[in-house]
Amino acid sequence: MNSILYALFQGEYEINMERGKEQQELGKKLCEEWEKIQKVMGIEFVDQLGELEGEEDNWRAFHYYQAGFRLGVRLMLEALGL
């Protein structure tokens, strides 16, 4: 079955976002800047900073998920006239 709703129901839906050329170039430039920082500050600093940024990104993604879920519920309630 090739249905998004069915995949969601089964817990098998995955979003595989392809990165465009601009995103790839930005990623490359970002890596180059991180390498410069690593040379000056050391690998431990860069690792710690990366871990902190990753943790912050996880919280941000969770908040986006919550907001999207709330929006979905509001849309459903509106559609049902409640």
pLDDT in tens, 2-41: 677 777 777 777 777 788 899 999 999 999 999 999 999 9
pLDDT in tens, 35-77: 999 999 999 999 999 999 999 999 999 999 899 889 989 999 9
Residue 15 — left, alpha, or beta (φ > 0 → left; ψ -120 to 50 → alpha)? beta
pTM above 0.85, yes or no: no
Structure tokens at 21: 């050329």
User: What gap in Å lies between CA 69 and CA 75, rounded to an integer?
Assistant: 10
